[in-house]
Amino acid sequence: MNIILLGPPGAGKGTQAQRLQSDLGMVQLSTGDMLRAAVASGTELGKKAKGLMEKGELVPDDLIVGLIKDRIAQPDCAKGFILDGFPRTEAQARALDKMLAEMAMKLDQVVEMEVDEKALTERVVGRFTCAKCGTGYHDSFKRPKVDGVCDVCGSKEFTRRKDDNAETMKTRMVAYRAQTEPLLPYYRARGVLKKVDGMAAMDEVYRQIRAVLAGA
Ligand code: AMP
């Protein structure tokens, strides 16, 4: 099954995608993670994306579409994938339709994670990740069981994203409203859009997503 998790920054797309990946073996495709890896390794793509990401603006469609096209063509994606952070513009959504058709693949569901905008900045500003295994945490909502030690792999190193601050969040929300939100009617019109309550507790959001997928 191939799905999109759609929602603003801080909606919990990455958290839910990680869990679907570990329970169902679907592959999480996060364009944000791919871009951060490109920035960290200093590739041409990374150099082009870095400044835009730090400002909270979107990276040009052609760069993103190329990235995702190469990734979807990898054999592991045949098991099914979860798009997390892509598509973010109507041009990207159209490019996705086209590449899936060319690869004889299809999009099964688009899950809208509905959230209260006021909660998003607090969610984003407090989050951090294990530098070794990528498990996500939050200062207020999900601290490691032992302070400073990753629950999953025991590492003591954590990272925080440069763009997870209140100032950049404003620009990211402007981009979301102007460029990504129009994808809701786009997918509604195709009959693949389902809504879950992104404000519920993490386990409940996950339960709702699994219910959507079971009905697909
Ligand atoms: P994310 O990790 O999904 O919050 O993405 C972090 C940043 O990467 C965004 O603020 C954009 O600058 C860039 N980015 C990620 N995915 C996309 C995309 N599909 N289109 C354009 N820019 C993207």
Indicate the burial class of 41 (C-beta count within 10 angstroms; 0-12, 13-18, 19 or more): exposed
Closest Cα partner for 134 from 122, 151, 113, 120? Answer: 151
If one residue of 6, 48, 59, 179 were mutated to test the ligand 1 pocket, choosing by the most ligand atoms within 8 A of its CB, it would be 59
Q: How far is the CA of 171 from the centre of ligand 1 (A)?
A: 12
pLDDT tens for 54-98 read 999 999 999 999 999 999 999 999 999 999 999 999 999 999 999
Regarding beta strands 127-130 and 136-138, do their DSSP bridges make them parallel or antiparallel, or are they unpaired?
A: antiparallel
Q: Say if pTM beats, i.e. exceeds, 0.85.
A: yes
pLDDT of residue 64: 97
For residues 7-22, average pLDDT = 95
**Residue 216 or residue 105, greater confidence:** 105
Q: How far is the CA of 33 from the centre of ligand 1 (A)?
A: 8
Among left, alpha and beta (phi > 0; psi -120 to 50; other), residue 130 is: beta
Q: What are the pocket residues of ligand 1 if the criterion is a CB atom closer than 6 Å to any ligand atom?
A: 9, 31-32, 35, 52-53, 56-59, 64, 85-86, 88, 92, 163, 172
CB 13 within 8 Å of CB 112: no
Give percent above pLDDT 90 in the chain: 96
Place of tokens 């981009």: 175
Token pair of 137 as six digits = 């945490």
